[in-house]
Amino acid sequence: MRGRGAWAVMAMALALGGCGYVGDPLPPALNIPERVVDLRAVQRGDRLIVVGTVSPLTTDKLVLKGMPPVELYAGRRGEGEFSTERWAQSAEVVTQESGAEAEVVVELPVAKWVEGEVVLGVRTVGPTGKRSAWSNLVSVWVVKELGRPEGLRGSATEEGVFLQWAAGEGPDGRGWRVYRKGPEEQEFALLGKAGEASWLDRGIEYGRRYSYFVQAVAPAGGGEAESEPGGVLTVEPRDTFAPAPPAGLTVIAGVNTIELAWERNAEADFAAYQIWRSEGEGEFTRVGDPVSVLSFSDTGLVSGRRYRYALTATDQAGNESAKSEAVEITAP
């Protein structure tokens, strides 16, 4: 009996030792979502576009079962010192369910806030109805709706693609953002901001396809309001622009030759020079193949006869310039 009792005590001690220390019970989860910290907004046409990133976590760093709904508050700043509580009590509230993505976009009509300031803020709502702390607050000065640019057209020039569009009516200080998508690009990129209703895109290659659209912008408080994007224009500019006629052509008599020399053309796509010759007042004919050097020796001439010379320049697209000013000489 004594042995059996000792074994029972030992077994109980081992069992209790294996359980470990349980400790104090954990408090219940609060299920309060983390606040939005990157709220931003812009006026586009007749709407406010409000964007923010919703966190999938609670303030206890627990993962929520789904992205929490968003409550957007929009209201006037009010007189005197700003009070978040007073602003929230009078603000318009829009609730939007979050999707699978963390970024949420809410759109509001701007008609009731034109020529005034609207303050925007969001809170997210947890599964038990508890709300997050306020996001960063955003202030937007609302202006009259900017009309989208119309009539975008483009033409190829020697310097690039020249774009024009209808300016229409608008406030002082208005400008236009110009966007382009190149031949192998997936997205439009901002080229720059025009102060008038035209833009010269010098960064193109002839024979390749480009797409453009324009968006009006205007000062709005400390930021900018923007229009809806205008329609997309696609162009494929072609190089039909001849080089300038070569300059500085001179001719001198050599030993049984006439020596020609001239100045270099400055075009980036220059290809070659063509020498032209006429006898007396006859028609000009080509002499030999095009050359890229700045001199030429003409042989096989008849001594005592009068010859006239001229040059043309060609570019890499095959465009040929007008003839240079002709010079004449009598063969030795």
Determine the Cα–Cα distance for residues 121 and 137; give it in Å rounded to an integer.
Answer: 5
pLDDT band at 25 (very low <50, low <70, confident <90, very high): low
* pLDDT value at 321 more than 70: yes
Yes or no: say if 67 and 54 are a contact pair by the CB < 8 Å rule: yes
Q: What angle do CA 91, 92, 97 make, to 5 degrees?
A: 125
Give the model confidence (pLDDT) of 228-276 as tens digits.
999 999 999 999 999 999 999 999 999 889 999 999 999 989 999 999 9
* Run of H or E residues at 307: strand 306-315
Specify the CATH superfamily of domain 150-235: Immunoglobulins (2.60.40.10)
| The pair of three-digit structure tokens given for residue 160, joined into one six-digit string | 């690039």
Give me the chain's average pLDDT, please.
91
Of 188, 163, 193, which is closest to residue 176 (Cα–Cα)? 193
Buried residues in 72-82 as b, exposed as e (16+ CB within 10 A): bbbbeeeeeee
CB atoms within 10 A of CB 228: 15
Task: For CATH 2.60.40.10, list the domain ranges present in the chain.
Answer: 150-235, 250-330
Output Rg (C-alpha) for the chain, integer angstroms: 39
Q: 221 or 120, which is more confident?
A: 120
Largest CA distance in the chain: 148
Yes or no: say if 298 and 232 are a contact pair by the CB < 8 Å rule: no
* pLDDT value at 7 more than 50: no
| The pair of three-digit structure tokens given for residue 314, joined into one six-digit string | 């060609």
Q: Which CATH number fits domain 250-330: 3.30.70.660, 2.60.40.10, 3.90.1150.10, 3.30.365.10?
A: 2.60.40.10
Q: What's the topology of domain 40-142?
A: Immunoglobulin-like (2.60.40)
Of 206, 314, 326, which is closest to residue 260 (Cα–Cα)? 326
Task: For CATH 2.60.40.2060, list the domain ranges present in the chain.
Answer: 40-142
| The pair of three-digit structure tokens given for residue 19, joined into one six-digit string | 């359980």
Give the model confidence (pLDDT) of 275-305 as tens digits.
999 999 999 999 999 999 999 999 989 999 9
Yes or no: say if 249 and 324 are a contact pair by the CB < 8 Å rule: yes
Determine the Cα–Cα distance for residues 130 and 270; give it in Å rounded to an integer.
Answer: 72
pLDDT band at 11 (very low <50, low <70, confident <90, very high): very low
How many residues in total does the chain contain?
A: 332
Determine the Cα–Cα distance for residues 118 and 78; give it in Å rounded to an integer.
Answer: 10
> Tell me, what DSSP letter sits at residue 112?
G
* pLDDT value at 98 more than 80: no
Determine the Cα–Cα distance for residues 219 and 18; give it in Å rounded to an integer.
Answer: 72
* pLDDT value at 166 more than 90: yes
Non-local (6+) Cβ contacts of 28 within 8 A are: none
Yes or no: say if 217 and 224 are a contact pair by the CB < 8 Å rule: yes
